[in-house]
Structure 1
Amino acid sequence: MSIYDDIEKIKQQIEKEDEVPLKIALFGQPGAGKSSIINKLFGEQVAKTGASTDVTVDADFIPYEGLLLVDLPGYGTSKFPPNEWMSRFDPKDFDLFLCVFSGKFHDADTAFFKELKEEGRVCLFVRNMADQLWEDGKTLEELEQNIRDDVEKQVGSKEKVYFTSCRNATGFDVLQEAITQSLKPAQREKYTRYAKAYTMDHLEAKKEECKKLVVRYAAIAAANGINPIPGVDVSVDFSVMLKLFSDIRKSYGLNDEKISKLEGAMLPLAKKVLDYATREGVALLLKRFAAKTAMKSTAKFVPIVGQIAAASAGYAMTYTAGNHFLNDCHELAAEVLKKELT
């Protein structure tokens, strides 16, 4: 087996991951803030807010970076009786369900949850608008316990309830962890990469997943080898490297708009991240690591493997450059998160 056979396997693996999206469905009362929950989970305006799908005839399908988020219409309504609902939206088509509510738990949500339980599907209960919980003479802990008791009474089993506030961005660190742990390993990797980090632990997990991307894309870029690096006798595929850098930035939520708002001590690092995410920046970064990686690899492998030497040298360079860009993005995202947490 040659290095090119290995590269073909990597390409097929990436294509397969892209073809099968992670599907997360949200259901619950109108006005409970399902769209706002989606936006908080991913740190940007992924879903339109203010419009309810609970009384419409179709679900709202929202594709996002290898995920498919679905705002489901109301279950058990006049337009969607239970049998018709279940035939159109098969629970087996979804990987995870979030039941979102902001007031008293509804009978329709109870009925749907019991259907999901019979199908063996995982459902997390999210009590949104937790910042509005208040009752004279009762503590917040007592009010939250009352909600848990009400859910247990309704659904007939003890279920964990996650309290969130989109206004204050609270509770999402715990919810993100619960979602991650509820997914299968391959799905967990994808969700970790693209979901917004609310804790440093999540940010570190995100970095580990991005390291895997660097390995895959560096191998492909080196094997394709179509763009000569100025002053270096090695070629790589710049388009693959640009895709890698773009994926890393998306994983950390570092779009141009967010980076442009950074100031103070973060500016130099922000400029580096922007500069390296261009074709010219990729070439400059690769050339920067050429002397100590490409030459060393060539000296070691040319007498033995001959034709594969170029791919080996290219891999060493692209792998090193990719990890350098990843470290810069991680450092910048960590500073942004620290600022958010304070």
Structure 2
Amino acid sequence: MIETREELDAIKKSCQSMVTKSAGLSAGTAIIPVPGLDIGSDVAILMRIIPKINSKFGLTPEQIESLDTENKLFVMTAISNTGSKMAGRYITKNLILTLLGKMGVKVAAKGTSKFVPFIGSAVAGGISFTAMKYMGNSHIDDCYHVALAALEKRQLEHMADVESVIEADEPPHV
């Protein structure tokens, strides 16, 4: 469980680094002029990194299920409020394909640009890098906001507990 804002920020930075490396891999695959190879590669990359990001933020289905009922409800509500399609969910090929389909213009542009010699492959790589980085970093931002809300809730509850202990220890006023 994430205990401090600093720890949460470090997780965000680590995940952003992972996304940048994966976006580079996606770009490298997009440069290869084989139709369909890049989409298959993007799906595989996302199916690998999205669960890792969820896990680092404590937002896998199993991690959420292990929470007590009140915290589970809070986290699921926070996920819903962010509009995240991937936090707290099992990541399937169909889910990834649906999300990639919503980025259809970029994906289509990447595919057709491959047919322009030399420059087309570079354009496809650039589009692939940008699209992968955008999807990954958007997911990180969603997870960060959910984890931050949960952290702040726990900190407020802790402060309320401390205050009630302090009040119980105070001598009665005369």
With the shorter chain as reference, the TM-score category is 0.5 to 0.7
Name the counterpart of 2:100. 286
Structure 2 residue corresponding to 1:235, chosen from 23, 39, 63: 39
Structure 2 residue corresponding to 1:306, chosen from 114, 117, 120: 120
Q: Distance in 1 between matches of 2:96 and 2:128?
A: 13
Structure 1: 5+ residue runs without aligned partners?
Answer: 1-42, 44-196
1:266 partner amino acid: A
Aligned pair in 2 of structure 1 residues 256, 303: CA closer, same or farther (>3 Å)? same
Aligned pair in 2 of structure 1 residues 331, 288: CA closer, same or farther (>3 Å)? same
Q: For 1:1-342, what aligned pairs fall within 5 Å after superposition?
A: 43=1, 197-224=2-29, 228=36, 235-237=39-41, 238-260=43-65, 261=67, 262-264=72-74, 265-268=77-80, 269=82, 272=85, 273-275=87-89, 277-291=91-105, 295=109, 305-342=119-156
Q: Distance in 1 between matches of 2:106 and 2:120?
A: 20
Aligned pair in 2 of structure 1 residues 317, 248: CA closer, same or farther (>3 Å)? same
Q: Distance in 2 between matches of 1:248 and 1:286?
A: 18
Query: In structure 2, the residue corresponding to 1:253 is in which secondary structure?
Result: coil
Deviations 1:139-182 (A, max 9, x none): xxxxxxxxxxxxxxxxxxxxxxxxxxxxxxxxxxxxxxxxxxxx
1:280 partner amino acid: N
Aligned pair in 2 of structure 1 residues 279, 222: CA closer, same or farther (>3 Å)? farther
Q: How many residues align?
A: 141
Quote the RMSD (CA, aligned, Å).
Answer: 3.3
Deviations 1:102-130 (A, max 9, x none): xxxxxxxxxxxxxxxxxxxxxxxxxxxxx
**Pairwise CA distance, 1:244:** 1.0
Aligned pair in 2 of structure 1 residues 288, 276: CA closer, same or farther (>3 Å)? farther
Aligned pair in 2 of structure 1 residues 294, 242: CA closer, same or farther (>3 Å)? same
TM-score (normalised: structure 2):
0.64
1:235 partner amino acid: I
8 Å contact 2:58–2:64 — kept in the other structure? Answer: no
1:258 partner amino acid: Q
Query: In structure 2, the residue corresponding to 1:263 is in which secondary structure?
Result: helix
Q: Distance in 2 between matches of 1:329 and 1:248?
A: 8
Residue identity over aligned pairs, in percent, reads 24
Deviations 1:47-87 (A, max 9, x none): xxxxxxxxxxxxxxxxxxxxxxxxxxxxxxxxxxxxxxxxx
* Structure showing greater Rg: 1
Structure with a larger share of its residues in strand = 1
8 Å contact 1:221–1:236 — kept in the other structure? Answer: no
Structure 2: 5+ residue runs without aligned partners?
Answer: 157-174
Q: Distance in 1 between matches of 2:138 and 2:49?
A: 12
Aligned pair in 2 of structure 1 residues 280, 227: CA closer, same or farther (>3 Å)? farther
Aligned pair in 2 of structure 1 residues 316, 267: CA closer, same or farther (>3 Å)? closer
Aligned pair in 2 of structure 1 residues 307, 271: CA closer, same or farther (>3 Å)? closer
1:311 partner amino acid: G
Aligned pair in 2 of structure 1 residues 317, 271: CA closer, same or farther (>3 Å)? closer
TM-score (normalised: structure 1):
0.35
Q: Distance in 1 between matches of 2:52 and 2:8?
A: 15
